[in-house]
A and B are shown apart, each in its own frame.
Chain A
Amino acid sequence: MKLLQIAELPAGSAGTVRIPIQGAALCAGFPSPADDFLEGALELPRWLAPNPPATFAWNISGDSMRGAGIFDRDLAVADRSLKPSNGSIVVAIVDGTMSLKRLVIEGNVARLAFDNPDLPAFAVEDLIEGEIWGVVRFSIRWHVARAGLVR
């Protein structure tokens, strides 16, 4: 059972945006069937998520990107409006699976690479095999072991 103070609730400060801005989806023609199911989207401050409609959060599972500072059970926030470039961390579709990779562009060759010193260097794939879904803008990791409150 979680206890939260009502006083903490109103989050209407100008510093946060919803991804995307909700509530404006009132339809002029048909009442939206989604109306009864809308939820407050995940809120991120505007300076972290400058383009809310293109911003999506992903759970990360696995340790192949430790070199990039992204670990198992972190969150990665992808911005689909960012152009991928050499060195970008990307969410990519590889063999029909969503994967987190580093995009490496050498000359004309683009590859999706692991970033973990413990993994063999050949663990890379040509981009032809994959498709970039979005570019990771930042990642989130929790450092709390157990969420107890000091009283």
Chain B
Amino acid sequence: MSRAIALIDGNSFYCSCERVFDPKLARVPVIVLSNNDGCAIARTAEAKALGIKMGDPWFKIRQQCQREGVRVFSSNYTLYGDMSARTNAVYRDFSPAVEIYSIDESFLDLSDVRNRDRVALARDLRSTVRAWTGIPTCVGIGPTKTLAKLADHVAKTIPDLDGVCDLTDPVAYDHWLCRISVAEVWGIGRASLAKLMGLGIDTVADLRDLDPRPVRKAMTVVGERIIYELRGLACLPLELLPAQRKGCAVTRSFSRRITERETLEQAVATHATRLGEKLRRGGLGTTHVSVFYHTSEHDRGDPMRSVSTTVTLPEATNDTLALIKAAQVGVTRTWREALGDRPWRYSKAGVVTTDLKLLDDAPRALIGQLDRERSAPLMAAMDACNARFGRGAVVPARAGLTEKRTWSTKFEMRSPRYTTRVGELPTAHA
């Protein structure tokens, strides 16, 4: 039986999540903004029709949105993450092998499904996901991941296909490949596109028929792989288990500019706290914590400063308190008081690690050993509290109480966390 991969993705996923719980959003333009309400990152078809583009800055489209009655939301990642987990739970009912590729896209292995049954299965999957979770989706099927992604693009853009396109079908394969622009191929970026256009390559079929060896010179092995994938030779396996993290970063833009040291220390401690959570989830530890903070390139005329420093720990750890201490050392080492009356106005800070290893495998230090035996239960209790009572229920004092932080990312137009907080459940009228 031939190999078949399906790509399923949510239509305007973030907007669709909002629509599930608010019937007033049906058939009206809806957009969702990025962190700090920066720019549009999800748009319904109605919003696209108004000319709102992906990445349009909020301050530029604000008036248009008010004028045209666009419903605007800050991103509600708690909700989107929960809805994503729900859709994937449904996908797993349909295929034993599911690769969660991003928050709204998953690859499913359909190789065990007979060719002629695949489209029917895809339609069944779509309608089940729609019924159970309320999320509309499209499905693309192909012998390789690259073709599945392309099929999904066709399913999304051609309404007649009713949300499903199967490129394992030779007729559909021949029909669509010479009708789709090469720009739609997964992995073809702006630079490669310019090169291909120069070679007179317009459609996906043109690219497929290129001799892969010279392409390797112009577009590296990635370009060569794309050509083989377009020919139906699978080069990219399904990644069912995420690779072990090698590094981890927690970085945030402030919702306002920061000039005071205490605030910066609090922000860095908050990021270190989050870093600790992430490491513990993977059973990982680190021996180095890099701290950085900088002013904004948009503040022209203001004094500029960008610093970063790496603090070494005596041995690998994921203890939040040890990470915070290291982060504070980083700030102490780099903080400068302004000389005149124009302080540096910092816009962003973060903590980064690059040398993650499994904590259990990490060698212990001879000198300066950290107290793992006490820290592990304390961290586990903190994580359990935060899992049960919501994020930020228990925080290290250095990081400050969540609601008292004056610099955290802004989500001013966020909808309720409908599915994870008892206090924010949606209301039905009786």
Interface residues of A (CB under 8 A from B): 4, 6, 9-11, 19-22, 24-30, 32-42, 51-54, 56-65, 70, 72, 75-76, 80-81, 91, 93, 96-100, 131, 133
Contact = CB atoms under 8 A, between A and B. Distances in A.
B417 interface: yes
A133 B26 CA distance: 13
Given A41-B419, A99-B430, A80 B133 contact: yes
B17 to A, nearest CB: 10
Interface residues of B, number: 53
A26 B242 contact: yes
A59 B427 contact: yes
Interface in B21-39: 23-24, 26
Contacts of A20: 82, 85-86, 89
B85 A39 contact: no
A39 B428 contact: no
A30 B429 CA distance: 39
Nearest to A89: B430
Given A32-B84, A41-B82, A97 B131 contact: no
Contacts of B103: 25, 27, 30, 32-34
B396 interface: no
Contacts of B385: 6, 9
Interface in B412-430: 417-422, 425-430
A59 B428 CA distance: 6
B430 A53 contact: no
Contacts of B419: 19, 41-42, 56-57
B23 A59 contact: no
A57 B81 contact: no
Q: Which of B80, B100, B134 has the most CB of A within 10 A?
A: B100
Given A27-B242, A28-B239, A53-B86, A98 B132 contact: no
Contact of B78 (A34, A52, A56, A57): A34
B101 A80 contact: no
B317 interface: no
